[in-house]
Chains A and B, each alone.
Chain A
């Protein structure tokens, strides 16, 4: 097949914009229940978090919250998910954190790896609530799920801290925080 493929590489590549910067990374190889990005610089327009985590137990709990606020019911979120057989949608309001996986009927099996990308737009804006969009999923050759999530944090405060929490501990993982200039 490869002999029949013509790959035409341009002499140049897409221009680099220098507007996407790595801020911080947290990696771990021992059991960890959560990680925190604190003192997030205020110099960007948007934030992106890219992560991979490996489970150590069948778990269905993975959440995030902002500015160390995990009470008061300030979070709401919507889910659209597929488990390989059917699609499902759900919504929650007045929550104490933004759940990334919890309600879905496929768990996160022990030893599996989940990958995801979270975008937090306009995180420094003090005139509106904050909204995230997330794409995450795991596949184990016969099981797994893919999910789209949108979450709202009903606060006009600028975001300076993001916490991720897993009630059953991750075996290993990495979270990388990036800033996008505007």
Chain B
């Protein structure tokens, strides 16, 4: 059986191990890894922050939920209508009046990792909306869940 470690030895070897692993952190200096983000990426042209949207009058825009029907059923932003790609034709047809009558539209999906919001926004623009009329909510549903009450 190996000799027992004293408390200071144990601490020394634990710390040494933690420090030696720090070599990994030096990697950007000798082999910069691709795609690692050091800062939050800037907003895309059509992206809006939740704080901004909340200053708009409620009747000046329409929320569109681009997530799945199940997620929408579970919970969604009050007043939002479900329009996703999976069932695009039916959902657009069912909500045609609301969509066509909206001066502005804000689309959201789950978080910054999903593309559904962006894709639905593109489809809306293809369908005849002007670029400046259709926005995507930055961080999507996640941003809404984390909002502070006004």
Chains A and B belong together in one complex: no
